[in-house]
């Protein structure tokens, strides 16, 4: 029985792969890339391959469900990113895509919190609402309120 205390030659230690601790300068380290499968699964090639196929199929089902939810009611993008997170437990390409996405979302959030950008966005929103209100007022003044089910045949 392997308790994890013995080291085998050529197999990296799990602590060396996942470096999620904080560095002395305050920055958080990047987590290692690669499979997050349990060690007993990684040791057997056939078991690891079937594990990867299972993770891919489950992730694919979640991503497809998210794509279906894009035009239908539901949290489509959240579900798609959930499927990507499932894939990222096993595939390096998905881990890189998630890192890129997280970086872009963080940058966008920082830009959105900038006071100048917030003022500009609020100003543009108010201008847009005023324009829509004026156009709606002109339409109602010109045509009035006529419900579609009360239109008389001419």
Determine the pLDDT at residue 135.
95
pLDDT of residue 60: 92
The helices-and-strands tally (H runs, E runs) of the chain is 6, 0
| pLDDT given at position 19 | 41
- Per-position b or e across 6-16, b if 16+ CB within 10 A of its CB: eeeeeeeeeee
Could you tell me the maximum CA-CA distance found in the chain, to the nearest angstrom?
90
User: ∠ CA(144), CA(145), CA(148), 5° rounding?
Assistant: 130
CB 59 within 8 A of CB 65: no
User: How many CB atoms lie under 10 A from the CB of residue 67?
Assistant: 15
CA–CA gap between residue 41 and residue 73 (Å, rounded):
38
Please give the backbone phi and psi of residue 22, each rounded to the nearest 5 degrees, phi first: -85, 135
47-62, pLDDT tens digit by residue?
Answer: 888 888 888 999 999 9
- What are the Cα distances from residue 49, in Å, to 13, 14, 58? 21, 20, 14
Instruction: Supply the pLDDT for residue 45.
Output: 82
Handedness of CA 128, 130, 135, 140 (dihedral sign): positive
Provide the pLDDT for residue 31. Answer: 59
Residues of the chain with pLDDT under 70: 1-31, 147-154
User: What's the pLDDT at 153?
Assistant: 55
Q: What is the mean pLDDT of the chain?
A: 77
């Amino acid at each position: 029985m392997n308790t994890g205390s013995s080291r085998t030659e050529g197999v990296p230690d799990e602590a060396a792969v996942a470096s999620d601790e904080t560095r002395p300068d305050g920055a958080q380290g990047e987590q290692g890339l690669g499979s997050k499968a349990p060690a007993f699964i990684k040791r057997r090639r056939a078991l690891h391959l079937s594990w990867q196929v299972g993770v891919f199929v489950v992730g694919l089902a979640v991503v497809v469900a998210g794509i279906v939810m894009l035009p239908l009611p539901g949290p489509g993008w959240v579900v798609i990113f959930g499927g990507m997170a499932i894939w990222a437990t096993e595939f390096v390409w998905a881990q890189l895509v998630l890192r890129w996405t997280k970086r872009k979302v963080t940058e966008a959030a920082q830009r959105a919190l900038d006071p100048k950008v917030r003022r500009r966005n609020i100003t543009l929103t108010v201008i847009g609402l005023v324009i829509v209100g004026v156009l709606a007022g002109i339409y109602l003044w010109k045509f009035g309120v006529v419900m579609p089910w009360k239109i008389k045949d001419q």
